[in-house]
Amino acid sequence: MCIPTPHNAAKKGDIAKKVLMPGDPLRAKYIAETYLDNPVCFNTVRNILGYTGLYKGKEVSVMASGMGMPSIGIYSYELFHFYDVDQIIRIGSAGALQDDLNVKDIVIALGACTDSNYGSQFHLPGVFAPIADYHLVVRAVEAAKKLETPVRVGNVVSSDVFYSDDAAASDQWKKMGVLCAEMECAGLYMNAARAGKQALGILTISDHIYREEAMTAQERQTTFNQMMEIALNI
């Protein structure tokens, strides 16, 4: 495919080797304007905003993924295959499943279970286990320690369903020790594995599935600073 693509107006060289990928386009704009020096917008197609700038003298890009695996599947595929991106770090929100997780806690997604059929396209003779890049996990933990930010490292579940008709689904994932639920990491990890690239998910707990605790939409957009700083300092 030629670039620009139907989803990305960037030209070759407009995007850094490292991309931070929040789901929300306005969160991408916030990160660029808050943390990056001289950010330049390279994409506005479908309002999926993307920027490239400098952080501590190093080039980094930030681009929204949209919601769900079909959406992050498109954008991460194009970044890996057409724009020569080496690393994508998803920074997003998640709903806590475990009792000892609270709103604003940070989870590093070591592995990503899923109820999605996304992996069927690879025609594997079994079930693929989507996992983060080990080196990015280690560096994220080290960055969190330097920033004195507590994190949890473990398994998450990437679901295709936000409003589930299966009332018992969360209970089943919780019993298996899964920390939280979100909608993108598994697709990102599979695309990275297939492309031979690196991926990681860093998640902030925005609500609790078993308790009436939740951040507002505005808080989700602008207050995930600790997660963003860990990703930027990897």
For residue 66, give Cα distances in angstroms to 5, 143, 163, 232.
16, 26, 17, 20
Q: For the chain, what percent of residues have pLDDT higher than 70?
A: 98
Q: Which two tokens stand for residue 221?
A: 């957009």
Mean pLDDT of the chain: 96
Q: If one looks up domain 18-232 in CATH, what number appears? A: 3.40.50.1580
Give the model confidence (pLDDT) of 166-200 as tens digits.
999 999 999 999 999 999 999 999 999 999 999 99
| DSSP one-letter string for 128-195 | ---B--HHHHHHHHHHHHHTT---EEEEEEE-S-SS-S-TTHHHHHHHTT--EEESSHHHHHHHHHHH
The amino acid present at 181, given as its one-letter code, is A
pLDDT at 139 over 90: yes
Q: What is the mean pLDDT of residues 133-142?
A: 98
The amino acid present at 148, given as its one-letter code, is E
User: What's phi and psi for 137, nearest 5 deg?
Assistant: -60, -50
Residue whose tokens read 């996990």: 137
Is 207 labeled as catalytic in the residue annotation? yes
80 contacts 72 by C-beta, under 8 angstroms? no
Give the model confidence (pLDDT) of 87-125 as tens digits.
999 999 999 999 999 999 999 999 999 999 999 999 999
Q: What is the mean pLDDT of residues 152-163?
A: 97
| Predicted pLDDT of residue 59 | 98
Among the listed residues 86, 115, 160, 207, the single catalytic one is 207
| Predicted pLDDT of residue 34 | 96
From the CB of residue 165, how many other CB atoms can be counted at a distance below 10 Å? 6
| Predicted pLDDT of residue 218 | 75
